[in-house]
Structure formats: C-alpha cells, structure tokens
Chain A
Amino acid sequence: MTLETVLQVAAGGLLMGLIYALVAAGLSLIFGLMDVVNFAHGELMMLAMYAVFVIWQATGLDPMLQLPIVAAMLFLGGMAIYRGMISRALGVQFNRGMVQIFVTFGLAIFIRGAAQFVWGGEFRSVNHTWLSDRTLNLAGVYFPLPQLAAAAVCLAAFAGLLLISRTEFGKALEATREDREAVALIGIDRDRIFALGWGLGAGAVGIAGVMLAGFYYVGPNVGASFALIAYVTVALGGFGSMGGALVAGLLIGEVEAFTAVVLEPSLKQIGVFGVYLLVLMFRPRGLFGTL
C-alpha cells in the first residue's frame, strides 16, 4: 500500500467515523440520562432518511436545506416516543431492564414494518443534490463533497451537543443523571428533562440521517447496520460518555475502512467487532466509561 492509498483510506474512515460518532452520541445521551438502550435508534435514522427522500421528491428541496425541518421532526418524534412508551417502561415494577430492551426492540420492528408498508422494500436514493458528484482534492487525497459536508455537519452537531450541556438545561440534564430522585426536590421536572433528552438524542441521529441521505441508499433495513455500529461505538467509548463516543466513532471508522482494504469489503465489520471485543477484554467499561 502506498502512502497515498493509506491517506485516502484514512480520509474515508475519518468521514464515516464522524457520522458514526454523532449516531452514537444520541444513543449515549439517552443511555447516560436514564439507563435505557434505545434499540430503535437505527430505525429513527432510517425515518429521517425517508423523510428527506419524500420531501426531496415532492418539492425538490435540497437535503442540506431540509436539515432543520427533519431534525425538528425527529426531535418531536423522540419526545413522543418517550411520552408514549418509554416513560411507561420506566414505571414497570418487574424486569425493568428486560422490558426496556424489548419495548425498544418492538418499536424497531414496528417502524421497519411501517416503512416497508409505506415505501416498499426496494432501495431509494436522493440521487441529485447540490453536492453530488463533486470532490475536493486536498494534496492528492480526494474528499467527496457529500461525505465531507456530512462529516462537517456531524462535527458541528457534536459541538452543539457539548454546548447544550453547558447551558441551564444541560446542568439540569446532568443533575437528573446524577440523582433522579433528588432533582424533584429542587423543582426540576424529571419527566420533562427525560423527554427533552429523547428529543435531543433522536434529533442528533436525525441530523446524521439527513446528511447520510445525500449519498447513501434508503431502505427499510438501512438502520439496522448503522445501529449495530452505534451500539459498538457507545460500548467501546463507554456508556454515557460523549467524548468517548467521538473517539470510538473515529476509531471504528478507521478500523472499518482499513479492514475493507486489507482483508476484503465484506469483512469490514469483522475488524470493527474484533477491535471492540479486544478492547472490552482489557477495559470492560469501554475507553472512557465511568460506570
């Protein structure tokens, strides 16, 4: 492998890794807040991608311009899921851990079925945007513009999440995470914070979905593979740790890109999973987990 190839592969891994990081950040946020792993996280991303496709087909609006609309839709959707389902799952008396896992699994299956019902099983793609087919040549390394924009937006969204954590709301979030019972005594509405947390988590994965729709096909099962990577990212970075999600996302992007070149593309996930299991052997709580 020449140096140029190495740089090219590394660039591809970096761009993908930033998307993985944002998908994982949404998952990690929700987990850190209330100990719930959202197994329908990938399906939320799939819904965002379909939303982009539908709006694009109806109005021709470029995915970039749809970003605020679809992110807001996902934000509201996430809050609705919390109010309608998760708040109930948190309130059960028996088998709470298992109920949470299987409720979100049920939701994932439901959303996948609904997508198949509405849009059919075939792949769709938003095949003409402002950015499609353009590349940026940086000292011999090519960056396709749709991927580059996606990575930049994901990084910005990540920074946004970190900024939010410094506001009044972010402090309430942190306090609720620390002690769910005590915050009620100082006038923080726990249910409202949790709902907003779900909104933010879903909004984050929605942003990733919008940017991904600019260069990736959409189908009912597209969420599943991304979600699996996201769980691995969160576990590798440490549940609840935002910085961990970023580092792990980038690491996974690189490992995946290089496994695809060194071994073969169909085995790229094996490399990711192998690194994940290896790290967990030595650090069961992930790279930055505090649990």
Chain B
Amino acid sequence: MDNFITRRRRRELIVAGLLLAVAIFAPMAVKDVTALNVIILSLLFAGLAQAWNIIGGYCGQISLGHAVYFGMGSYVSTLLYVQAGLPPSAGIFIGAAVGGLAALLVGWPCFRLSGHYYAIATVVVGEIGYLLFLNWDYVGGATGVYIPIAKPSLLNLQFGKDKLPYLHLVLAFVAATWLAAWLIEGSRWGYAWRAVKDDAVAARSLGVNIFASKMAAAAISGFFTGLGGAIYGLYVGYIDPDSVMAGHFSILIALPAVLGGVGTLWGPILGAALLIPLKELSSSYLGGSGRGVDLMLYGAMIIFVALARPQGLVSLFGGRNNGAP
C-alpha cells in the first residue's frame, strides 16, 4: 500500500516536471500579446486557486475572503517599493508574509466558527478589508497607487513591454504552490488536515489539534495568496481596492479549485486553464459595452459544472485518486 502511494507520488512529480518544462518553452512561440496576457492570468489564478485549495480543499474550510490576503500582498509589496524604495524582488516575499500573517489574524477568531458561519465570517472579513483600504488615505484610498516604471531588471521585477519574463515569474509561482500542495499531501500535516475536513470530532479523538491544523493551513494559504497578489500588482502596474481587494476576487480565487476539483493536485490548475480564458475571452468579446452577457455565461457555467461534475473536472481524467473522496 505504502509502495503504491510512493509510486503514485513519484509519478505525479515527474508529470509536473515535464509539464513545467513544456510550459517554460512553449510560450516562446506565442507572439500575440493578448494571448500571452490570458496565459499569464490563467497561470496566476492556477497558483492562487492552489493556494486556496490548501485551506479550502485539503483542510475543508471554505474561505470566501481570500481577496484580503491577495490585496495585502499587493499593497505591502507595492507600498514598500513606492514609499521605501525596497526592490520588489524582496518586497513580494514581505507581501506574502503579511498575507500569511493576515490569514492567522483572521483565523484566530473565525476558526471558532464552522460550516456556513465560517464562510459568512470570511465574506465579512473580506468586505471589512475592502472598506478599510477604500477609506485609508495613506494607501491611496479609492484612487489607488501607481507603480513607477523602472529600468527592466530582475531586481525590480520589471520587464517593460516584454511579457515572457512575467510569464516565467508567474510560472515559478504556480510551480511553488503546486510543490507546496504536493509536499502537504504526503506529509503528516496533510493527513491531519484531511481528517479535520472529513470529521473534526473523530480527528480530535485521534489526537489531531484541530485549531492548530486550521491555522497552519491558513498561514500557508495566505502566504501564497499574498505572493500572488504582489506579483499581480507588479504585472498590472496599478492597484486600487477595486482591482485587488473587491469581493469578487475571493470567488475568482476559489472557483478554479471548485470547478477543477477541490483537494486534488491538478484540479486548481485544470479549473484555471478553463475558467480564466473563457472569462477573459467572453468579457472582451461580449462584455465590452457592459451588456452583461459575459456575466450570464460565467454564472451559467458555474452552475452547470457544479451540478454536472460536483467532484470537479479533474475526475473526467479517470485516475483512481482524482477527486474521489
């Protein structure tokens, strides 16, 4: 049995390595800027959804407030650069750390709640974060913050008009989140978290510290979400509460994992690869004049996939351990 699991895990690692190699080189053939932009956003949300998956999928705590950690990451890294001159290559990690810290701070009161109470509390926390940043002049309030354009360099993580380096940066982010999820899956923590998800009472009777498990999962999830937010801020060059902290980001971070398959290694990536291009394409081709068709399509797709494939799209690929509880 042990042997089987080890073999499977090794196979997953090899597949991931091969996919990474393809993902590094294949985009070099893409010259279209719009296409590159869609690929970058898809990768970014694949990583964010994987980060969400760590708390939502493996630990079973449905957070609908991840936009706060995302926004914290982008605000901290951006402000450190703009106000203190700290190069973003260091700033993104501080942003990520603050994201993780924020997740601990939110988790401390909210993990006393369970089920729907927890989900709604996270929605509220997300809204509080949004409102505070909207009314806080030091961080630019509703006008937001521009990231000054610097000479393209790895230190500043700015690459001018060239999109490929951004793509590789985001790819590194996806690889890091995937590896974290892979390590968690095989670790003692991963087993404890899944036990908390399936049956908290039974897990406690086996000596699992439920609160500590949730906090650890939240911190790791918040860290990577903050990292993604910091990278996103650099990529778009301008942040305001609506572009990095609005409530719909929380849904957008969770959705790829839910559609692809929660608690699976490949679900978030698969979900993002389908959801983000569809969303981007429909909003640029159908949503231009604010007609709402893109929203209708987006909503209908969520309903359809959730009802037709509740275990996630990854289950279509038929592996024995994909999505089955």
A residues whose Cβ falls under 8 Å from a Cβ of B: 31, 35, 37, 85, 88-89, 92-99, 101-103, 105-117, 120-121, 220, 224, 228, 231-232, 234-235, 239, 266-267, 269-270, 273-274, 276-277, 280-281, 284-286
Contact = CB atoms under 8 A, between A and B. Distances in A.
A227 to B, nearest CB: 10
A93 B310 contact: yes
Nearest to B291: A117
Interface string B97-115: 0000000000001001111
5 contacts: A85-B303, A117-B291, A235-B117, A266-B134, A273-B124
B179 interface: no
Interface string B181-205: 0000000000000000000000000
A108 B127 contact: no
A110 B301 CA distance: 9
B299 A276 contact: no
B112 A284 contact: yes
A155 B62 CA distance: 34
B255 interface: yes
A116 B291 CA distance: 6
Most buried by A among B293, B294, B296: B296
A97 B306 CA distance: 11
B274 interface: no
B253 interface: no
B73 interface: no
B292 A277 contact: no
Nearest to A238: B117
B262 interface: yes
Interface of B: 62, 64, 109, 112-117, 119-121, 123-125, 127-128, 131-132, 134-135, 247, 251, 255, 258, 262, 290-303, 306-307, 310-312, 323, 325
A88 to B, nearest CB: 5
A285 B298 contact: no
Contact of A117 (B112, B134, B293, B312): B293
A260 to B, nearest CB: 13
B302 A102 contact: yes
What is the interface of chain A mostly: helix, strand, loop, or mixed?
helix
Nearest to A111: B299
Nearest to B297: A113
A285 B117 contact: yes
A103 B251 CA distance: 12
Contact of B295 (A99, A105, A109, A284): A109
Contacts of A114: 292, 296
B303 to A, nearest CB: 4
A37 B62 CA distance: 13
A89 B307 contact: yes
Contacts of A115: 292
Given A96-B310, A103-B302, A239-B116, A270 B292 contact: no
Given A117-B296, A228-B124, 15 more contacts: A37-B119, A95-B262, A98-B310, A102-B258, A110-B295, A111-B299, A113-B297, A116-B295, A120-B290, A224-B247, A235-B116, A270-B128, A277-B121, A281-B109, A281-B112
B306 to A, nearest CB: 5
Contacts of A120: 290
Nearest to A96: B310
Contact of B311 (A94, A102, A228): A94
A37 B247 CA distance: 17
The 6 closest A-B pairs by CB, nearest first: A113-B295, A110-B299, A116-B292, A106-B302, A109-B299, A113-B296
Contacts of B262: 95, 98
Contacts of B123: 228, 231
Contacts of A99: 306-307, 310
Contacts of B301: 106
* A37, A85, A239, A273 interface centre (most CB from chain B within 10 Å): A273
A96 to B, nearest CB: 7
Contact of A37 (B120, B134, B292, B293): B120
Contacts of B135: 266-267
Contact of A113 (B117, B121, B131, B294): B294
B298 A109 contact: yes
A267 B141 CA distance: 13
Contacts of B292: 112-117, 220
Contacts of B117: 235, 239, 280, 284-286
A270 B247 CA distance: 15
